[in-house]
A and B are shown apart, each in its own frame.
Chain A
Amino acid sequence: MTDSKYFTTTKKGEIFELKAELNSDKKEKKKEAVKKVIASMTVGKDVSALFPDVVNCMQTDNLELKKLVYLYLMNYAKSQPDMAIMAVNTFVKDCEDPNPLIRALAVRTMGCIRVDKITEYLCEPLRKCLKDEDPYVRKTAAVCVAKLHDINAQLVEDQGFLDTLKDLISDSNPMVVANAVAALSEIAESHPNSNLLDLNPQSINKLLTALNECTEWGQIFILDCLANYTPRDDRESQSICERVTPRLSHANSAVVLSAVKVLMKFMEMLPKDLDYYGTLLKKLAPPLVTLLSAEPELQYVALRNINLIVQKRPEILKHEMKVFFVKYNDPIYVKLEKLDIMIRLASQANIAQVLAELKEYATEVDVDFVRKAVRAIGRCAIKVEQSAERCVSTLLDLIQTKVNYVVQEAIVVIKDIFRKYPNKYESVIATLCENLDSLDEPEARAAMIWIVGEYAERIDNADELLESFLEGFHDESTQVQLQLLTAIVKLFLKKPTETQELVQQVLSLATQDSDNPDLRDRGYIYWRLLSTDPVAAKEVVLAEKPLISEETDLIEPTLLEELICHIGTLASVYHKPPSAFVEGSRGVMHKRLPARTGSGEGTECPDVGNAAGGSAPEAAPSIIPSQGDLLGDLLNLDLAPPTTTGPTPSTSGMQMGGMDLLGGGLDSLMDESEPPHVPLQTDPPQSPSPQPPSPVYTHTDYTYTDYSHTDSPPDHSSTEHSPPAELGGDIGGSPAMGAGFGAAPTVMPASLNAPVGGGLGDLFDLGGGVGMPMGAYIPPKTVWLPAMKAKGLEISGTFARRAGVIQMELVLTNKAMSVMTDFAIQFNRNSFGLAPAGPLQVLTPLGPNQTIEVSLPLSTVGPVMKMDPLNNLQVAVKNNIDVFYFSCQYPISMLFVEDGKMERQVFLATWKDIPNDNESQFQIQDCHLNSEAASNKLQGSNIFTIAKRTVEGQDMLYMSIKLSNGIWVLAELKVQAGNPNYTISLKCRAPEVSQCVFQCYEAVLKN
């Protein structure tokens, strides 16, 4: 007879049948019945109606039956809390049973019954079980404390279970220690400021001892707990490392990875010249390699982690290239990860081997893998200069296969190779041109068009080639359209005589027939450049491009550091910080690597480049966002054709009119709504089309010349070079700026007339460059402590930030009859660690009816405790009469530090990185400042405007704030001309500060 029969019955009246069986006298029958009930429960049938009958079976000597009943209870107690109470007595009795198995079973099950009412009955049995003589009961009870804490945290604290739990860390049984550590770690996570897990050298020593005796799973708890400890110095760090290292050869990969995490973290503190450091590096490689012989699931997880480790410390695996070669029977997701690591490890020493492998991969069956392999060849060429030639010839071989997707990938990477090594491999262009017809993916088409445009002078039939693309202009994706526009303009500048018609055609297509603002704006820029100053146009469009850098897809250093602290966890698989996917307070704590002692860098993050073997520090590789452009993403600029209708031609006509004021208009053309012409002024023969003579052409000092000496920012180079970025590269900005520019005629006067020659870049500097910083906002003084409450002493005051120092400005008034002396002040612990930086300077005694103003400098290094509201400060003032207490709220703006201006790139990355849940929106009513005045005003309070953009008359200001405790707040302020209501969105990793920050905005802007 087997159990499977339980799954088969679903007849009517089944419940009644079961009921009868449950109440049977025969034990066997009862057991069978309970099994049937549980089987139904598993497949999702509701058998809660049987609750009383099942509970009746609970009182039995048969352990097997008891376990089955408990299983049922755990599932249904929550839905039947009143009935669950019925079971309590049996539980309490079982906790006294002579059999430790039954005691443990009872305490384990009670904890799983997540009913609030039951908890009070649980406390006494739990207390006994925590001190039970049997370790099996104790280890079960330790976990039960965590369960209880999850249901009722206050109760656990009140009952003193936490202290008992702490004592269990010194238990003689390693299993008990491990469970106590696990329970405490979890409880500590919900109390970030408590030092529940008081990690000090003594307790660490205990843990390290238990580590050797635990089960493998216990070792994981202990290692994860160790990883949260920060050793005092490199000595301690080394001794812990030495004791953890033996775990690297454990058969359980989870133990190995937890050990790797501890070592990677503590290694950070070891001096590089130490012999031990080198030894440790050598010891880390074999366990990582071993992970690759596990099941594919584990391999994948391991590879994601190795990817991080390789970025942080490439030297660990630099000799192990071969293990990352793919096997033909690897699952595709393992293959792709291996490929990624291969490129990261590629160097001059192993490039020949790598290339040979990649070439093999490029002929495999799986399309995704082949594509990535082809791309990898290109990345090798860019990374290892010596190999470039071989890479190019390999790519050419692959193009010969005529396999459609291989050809397209190859062309995309060859474009990057051209940008890295200009004027070296152009001989292959002819081969590329042969494959023009087979290109059907936008990225490949765009790349090919870029190549044709860039090397138009060497391609005899460049105009024919481009013309052929132009036929289906409207069916192309935006990426291709933009690229085609630029390429034809390039062609025109190189061969003006033959291509006039072509350029007119494309300009008219782009500006007139397109709904896409990006395309239209770029069209207009070219048009006006060509019409006003073709020499400048040449300088702009054909400007020398910066070389692209070699490393792509690197993880941003701060994120990488955080991820290294989370090796072996889900974060390391997703490559996202835990705050991005774990709910609740758990994500708020950001883990960081410890600083190297003795380096004097403080908590400054160590240079990523310094990982290379302790030789001369390499330049930190610049980080390139893997796709598109961050700014584009941030500003929600969809680079694809817009789905909503863009501004209609009439509005753009109006905008053009606005631009006309600046000295170069096309108004006549626009107003006549004729097909626009390209007015040509220069050496090429006059345009055959009739040109309406217009005075605007005489403006030769047109401000567009500014752009010509804009160097492309070096950080902009990208191998994932998207066509919009092309324009950006030319005129010194990113694609969004093209759009921002076109759509922002109203703000243009400011930037264009500004004497600085930064071109569009200045748009982003408005706050700092143009504005006049005003003083920080200081709220008016308010009465904090009325004389009534303080035996005649009245205190009023405010807070201010002057020259980077926070000051508490107090006015003390003596309204009593006697003289007051011996003043002193103290703060309670508060959210930002505010504390008096010196004594309260009241030197002379304060006579009756006398008033004195005192300024007390504050520091932010005091003890921290989260207050509610966040900016609440509890103060005690003492004088010769008594001690008085009051509380006040400080404007959080005085905590905004002077260096709170974030780099633009960092801002974008951070904005993206902070989860959307952390964003909060507020309205500021009745504010009549324009965006510039607002930005100036805010800057006075250390709220820095980083970028500004205008969309349809609405100014968007992007701002950053840094608090004295290092928290960054990012803000987006929307100001609509003529509308006194601003909208502000705040994003911060600690969202609880948002409300306070918003209040500051309101206070600053309205005063």
Chain B
Amino acid sequence: MISQVFILSSKGDHLIYKDFRGEAGKDAVNKFYEMVTALTGGQPPVVMKHKELHFVHIRQGGLYWVATTKADASPFTIIEFLNRLTALVKDYCGCLSEKSVQMNFALIYELLDEVVDFGYIQTTSTDILKNFIQTEAVSSKPFSLFDLSNVGLFGADTQQNKVAPSAAATRPIVSSQGEQGGKNEIFVDVIERMSVVIGANGVLMKADIEGEIRVKCYMPSCSEMRIGLNEEFSIGKSQLSGYGAAVRVDECSFHQAVRLDEFDTYRILKVCPSQGEQTVMQYQLCDDLPTAPPFRLFPSIERDSGGRYRTLFIHVPLSLRQSLFSYSAAINVSITIPVPKGSLRLSQELSSPDQSAELQPKNKAVHWEIPRFPGGAQLSALFKLEVSGLSAASLQEVGPVSLNFELPKYTSTGLQIRFLRLSPIQPGPSQRWVRYVTHSDSYTIRI
């Protein structure tokens, strides 16, 4: 049972405050801000307690979304709820920011009133809610179709957040009747996150993929959408992969609105998309990847004991697999190499001018950035580190190397969307966008 819900800006300004049960005072808001800003790194900030009041919060769009409770409530429910609430606000207001929340406070209060009653969560489905909501959203930017040139990912919270949100996907789902033309659009994203651990001997120790298919729909009249996946898509560990072309995942879960009657035979997901954004399908694949991991790295380390300071040479040749990427490139690649604690100076040899590398003494790491990495290429870097008090044991402090990257137009499981059909046939022009991306979740190579 939720007692209060409030939204705070990162500076602690009260943006939204709603009390559902009259059990706790408004001073809880300031108390929360005090507690959350006083947290030290090691403390889990998820659930906090002050006297009889428990705070659960998430951070999204630079804002604190907080729910409080006095009962032994379920933090899962509350976190899920807060995530949905952010999604709803995003759907209704277009994007999540201090400004959009402030501009639409009346709308958000109205939403909260319908979504939660006396602390019981009622519904978070935009389809149901749009029957009740009266307030019009106020959009911060006028929408223009020309922005579509730089269509990025609308939802994929990529690690660096460097993909610019496209205006197309950041407008409110329900907008005034005026601009009817050109807004019949549907976006489908296939996003995969990759976790890989490669051992010191080059053996792949662990490789996991977590993927999801997300749909954002701007079609008011669409009653059913059929998403066709690869026909050879299979679920489960035991199934034989046939002729090797199969796309396989271990586990799969679907949104409540997905009907699976054609899934078993034709691999078709039938969705009745409500307007707004939703995750239609989530899937995982552990260990048994269909292809080798995209990056290989063979670092070598040498120690030179001459000179005043002892020097450490770290040679990092990095290659991106050719076969898949002859037409594509990895972007925003960054490589972090932990180095011994006494590292003082770094000198480097990089293979192209757009790359950069620096020593971050606070994190005891060398940070190497490559903005664009063409498929099949091989880059290498040589780092020379001056380390005070270098000993044999210092070598143990080097590594593991971690990589962050994005691979657009690529899914590592091989999952593809064969087709996207809408019924009834949409009047007027309709746009369907399908995008793929794989990005790193935790990609480490041990030394």
Enumerate chain A interface residues (CB-CB to B < 8 A).
1-4, 6-7, 35, 38-39, 42-44, 63-64, 67-68, 71, 75, 78, 101, 108, 111-112, 114, 139-140, 143-144, 146-147, 150, 175, 179, 182-183, 186, 215-217, 220-221, 224, 249-254, 256-258, 286, 289-290, 293, 295, 297-298, 300-302, 322-323, 325, 327-333, 336-337, 356, 360, 363-366, 368, 397-398, 400-403, 566, 568-571, 573-574, 578, 581-583, 586-587
Contact = CB atoms under 8 A, between A and B. Distances in A.
A298 B102 contact: no
B109 A333 contact: no
Contacts of B52: 581-583
B120 A143 contact: yes
A44 B393 contact: no
A360 B74 contact: no
A363 B14 contact: no
Interface stretch (B305-313, B395-403, B413-421, B430-438): B395-403
A186 B21 CA distance: 13
A572 to B, nearest CB: 8
Contacts of B392: 400
A365 B134 contact: no
B41 interface: yes
Given A43-B14, A215-B123, A147 B73 contact: no
A249 B121 CA distance: 21
B338 A363 contact: yes
A217 B123 contact: yes
Nearest to A368: B42
A429 to B, nearest CB: 19
A568 B75 CA distance: 7
Given A221-B120, A290-B284, A569-B75, A101 B132 contact: yes
Given A38-B106, A290-B253, A293-B210, A254 B42 contact: no
Lowest 3 A-B CB distances belong to which pairs?
A327-B442, A333-B44, A254-B76
A146 B134 contact: no
Contact of A257 (B42, B69, B76, B134): B76
Nearest to B362: A365
Contacts of A574: 47, 49
Contacts of A150: 21
A210 to B, nearest CB: 15
A3 B393 contact: no
27 contacts: A3-B103, A4-B99, A38-B105, A43-B14, A44-B26, A64-B134, A75-B19, A101-B132, A108-B113, A175-B122, A216-B256, A290-B284, A295-B58, A297-B46, A297-B79, A298-B80, A301-B76, A322-B286, A328-B402, A333-B43, A337-B44, A400-B396, A568-B74, A568-B75, A568-B76, A578-B72, A581-B49
A182 B46 contact: no
Nearest to B107: A3
A301 B79 contact: yes
A333 B441 CA distance: 17
A3 B77 contact: no
A328 B124 contact: no
Contacts of B70: 582-583
Interface in B270-303: 279, 282, 284, 286-287
Nearest to A146: B118
B124 A217 contact: yes
A363 to B, nearest CB: 5
Contacts of B199: 356
Contacts of A179: 117, 120, 122
Contacts of B72: 566, 569-571, 578, 581-582, 586-587
B197 A325 contact: yes
Contact of B74 (A3, A44, A254, A403): A254
A578 B279 CA distance: 34
Contacts of B41: 332, 366
B338 A365 contact: yes
Contacts of A293: 193, 210, 282, 284
A101 B120 CA distance: 19
Nearest to B124: A217
Interface residues of B, number: 94
B47 A570 contact: yes
Nearest to B446: A360
A368 B42 CA distance: 7
A216 B81 CA distance: 11
Contacts of A290: 251, 253, 282, 284
Contacts of B43: 333
Nearest to B109: A71
B120 to A, nearest CB: 5
Contacts of A573: 46-47, 75
Given A114-B22, A146-B118, A249-B253, A68 B106 contact: yes
B248 interface: no
Interface in B90-106: 99, 102-106
B46 to A, nearest CB: 5
A139 B128 CA distance: 14
Interface string B108-128: 011001000110111111000
B105 A186 contact: no
Contact of B396 (A75, A249, A356, A397): A397
Given A217-B123, A571-B72, 18 more contacts: A3-B102, A39-B105, A44-B14, A139-B122, A186-B1, A251-B255, A254-B79, A254-B81, A290-B282, A293-B284, A327-B444, A329-B442, A337-B44, A363-B397, A365-B365, A401-B397, A403-B397, A574-B47
A216 B251 CA distance: 20
Contacts of B106: 3, 35, 38, 68
A911 to B, nearest CB: 22
Contacts of B384: none
Given A297-B79, A325-B206, A332-B42, A402 B391 contact: yes
Given A3-B105, A150-B21, A586-B71, A328 B396 contact: no
A276 B440 CA distance: 39
For B58, B83, B122, which residue has the most chain A Cβ atoms within 10 angstroms? B122
Contact of A298 (B76, B99, B365): B76
Contacts of A336: 42
Nearest to A337: B44
B363 interface: yes
Nearest to A1: B138
B122 A363 contact: no
Interface string B13-50: 11111011110001000000000000001111111010
B143 interface: no
Interface string B245-276: 00000110111100000000000000000000
